[in-house]
C-alpha cells in the first residue's frame, strides 16, 4: 500500500485513503506487520472478545450480549487474525456492526494494545464497509468519544466526516461525535480481503 513519512519520520497515510488499500493490513517490514485476515467471528472467539472489550472499550455490552451477536444475520461481527496461518493464529482485533435498512452502524471496534498502529483496525473497517455496501448499505454511521483521538484519526483517514455531536452522551459526561461515510462515494472493491 502507499505510504509516506511525515516530518517526524512516522509513517502516515494520505487522507481519504482508498479502502482497497487497507483491507489487508500493512506491508511487512513496517513496525513488524505481517498482514491480517478478516473473517466472521466464531463462538470460540467470544471469550477473547469479551476480555479485550473489558480492557479497552467503555461499553455496557455484556458477555451474553456479545455472544448473542455471533451469527445474527443483521450483525456484522468480524475478527482479524494474523494472515500467515489464520486458522491457528490468535485474534488481533474485532469489529461489531449492525445493518439497519440501508445503514451500517459500527458499534464496537478494538485491537489488541500490543498490535496497534499496524493497520488492523483499518482492515476491519474497510472490510465492514465493503460488506455493508455489498449488502445494500448506502451509509456508515458511528459515534465516537470526543476525546478518542486514535479512533477519530482512524475514521478521518478512512473518509468519515463529522456530522454532529451529542453533548454529555456518555455516562462519565464525555461528548459523542457523530461520524458518517457515504458508501456510494467511497472507493470500494476490497483488494486482498479474505
Ligand atoms: C482505535 C483503534 C481501534 C485503532 O486500531 P489500530 O489497529 O491501531 O488502527 P490502525 O493501525 O488501522 O490505524 C490507522 C490510522 O489511524 C490513526 N491512528 C490510530 N491510532 C492512533 C493513535 N493512537 N494516535 C493517533 N492516530 C492514530 C492513524 O492515522 C493511523 O495511521 P498511521 O499508523 O499510518 O499513522 C485502537 O487504538 C483501539 O482498539 N483503541 C481502543 C478501543 C477504541 O477506542 N475503539 C474505537 C471506539 S469507536
Tens digit of each residue's pLDDT (9 = 90 or more) over 126-153: 999 999 999 999 999 999 999 999 999 9
Distance CA 86, CA 36 (A): 8
Q: Is residue 74 part of a domain?
A: yes
Q: What is the pLDDT of residue 90?
A: 83
Residue 25 pLDDT level (bands cut at 50, 70, 90)? low
Highest mean pLDDT among 17-21, 32-36, 85-89: 85-89
Q: Is residue 188 part of a domain?
A: no
Q: Is residue 13 part of a domain?
A: yes
Q: What is the pLDDT of residue 60?
A: 80
Q: Is residue 75 part of a domain?
A: yes
What are residue 33's phi and psi, to 5 degrees? -75, 140
* Residue in 26, 38, 121 to alter for ligand 1 test, most ligand atoms within 8 A of Cβ: 121
Q: Is residue 176 part of a domain?
A: yes
Atom of ligand 1 nearest to the CA of 26: 11
Distance CA 152, CA 164 (A): 13
Give me the percent of the chain exceeding a pLDDT of 70.
Answer: 75
Q: What is the pLDDT of residue 87?
A: 66
Residues of the domain holding 170: 4-182
Q: Is residue 91 part of a domain?
A: yes
Q: Which of 42, 125, 51, 118 is CA-nearest to residue 86?
A: 42
Q: Do residues 57 and 143 touch, judged by C-beta distance below 8 A?
A: no
Q: What is the pLDDT of residue 35?
A: 77
Determine the distance separating the centroid of ligand 1 and the alpha carbon of 109, expressed in angstroms: 10
Residue 24 has pLDDT above 70, yes or no: no
Report pTM: 0.84
- The CB density around residue 175, as the number of other CB atoms within 10 Å, is 15
Q: What is the pLDDT of residue 86?
A: 64
Tell me, using a 6 A CB cutoff, whether residue 14 lines ligand 1: no
Residue 155 has pLDDT above 60, yes or no: yes
Distance CA 147, CA 37 (A): 29
Q: What is the pLDDT of residue 88?
A: 67
Determine the distance separating the centroid of ligand 1 and the alpha carbon of 84, expressed in angstroms: 22
Q: What is the pLDDT of residue 20?
A: 40
Helices (H), the chain: 46-56, 63-69, 120-134, 149-157
Q: Is residue 58 part of a domain?
A: yes
Residue 50 has pLDDT above 90, yes or no: yes
Q: What is the pLDDT of residue 9?
A: 32
What nine digits make up the cell of 10?
512516522
Lowest mean pLDDT among 22-26, 74-78, 108-112, 150-154: 22-26
Determine the distance separating the centroid of ligand 1 and the alpha carbon of 92, expressed in angstroms: 13
Q: Is residue 110 part of a domain?
A: yes
Q: Which of 99, 87, 44, 88 is CA-nearest to residue 66?
A: 44
Give the mean pLDDT of the chain.
Answer: 81
CATH assignment at residue 23: 3.40.630.30
Q: What is the pLDDT of residue 66?
A: 93
Atom of ligand 1 nearest to the CA of 57: 42
Give me the number of domains the chain comprises. Answer: 1
Amino acid at each position: 500500500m502507499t505510504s509516506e513519512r511525515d516530518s517526524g519520520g512516522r509513517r502516515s497515510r494520505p487522507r481519504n485513503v482508498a479502502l482497497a488499500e487497507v483491507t489487508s493490513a500493512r506491508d511487512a517490514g513496517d513496525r513488524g506487520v505481517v498482514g491480517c485476515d478478516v473473517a466472521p467471528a466464531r463462538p470460540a472467539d467470544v471469550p477473547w472478545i469479551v476480555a479485550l472489550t473489558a480492557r479497552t472499550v467503555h461499553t455496557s455490552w455484556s458477555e451474553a450480549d456479545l455472544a448473542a451477536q455471533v451469527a445474527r444475520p443483521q450483525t456484522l461481527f468480524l475478527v482479524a487474525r494474523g494472515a500467515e496461518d489464520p486458522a491457528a493464529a490468535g485474534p488481533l482485533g474485532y469489529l461489531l456492526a449492525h445493518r439497519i435498512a440501508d445503514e451500517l452502524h459500527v458499534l464496537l471496534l478494538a485491537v489488541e494494545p500490543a498490535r496497534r498502529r499496524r493497520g488492523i483496525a483499518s482492515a476491519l473497517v474497510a472490510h465492514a464497509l465493503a460488506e455493508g455496501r455489498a449488502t445494500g448499505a448506502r451509509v456508515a454511521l458511528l459515534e465516537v468519544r470526543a476525546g478518542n483521538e486514535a479512533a477519530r484519526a482512524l475514521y478521518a483517514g478512512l473518509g468519515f466526516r463529522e456530522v454532529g455531536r451529542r453533548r454529555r452522551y456518555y455516562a462519565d459526561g464525555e461528548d459523542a461525535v457523530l461520524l458518517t461515510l457515504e458508501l456510494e462515494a467511497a472507493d470500494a472493491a476490497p483488494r486482498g480481503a479474505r
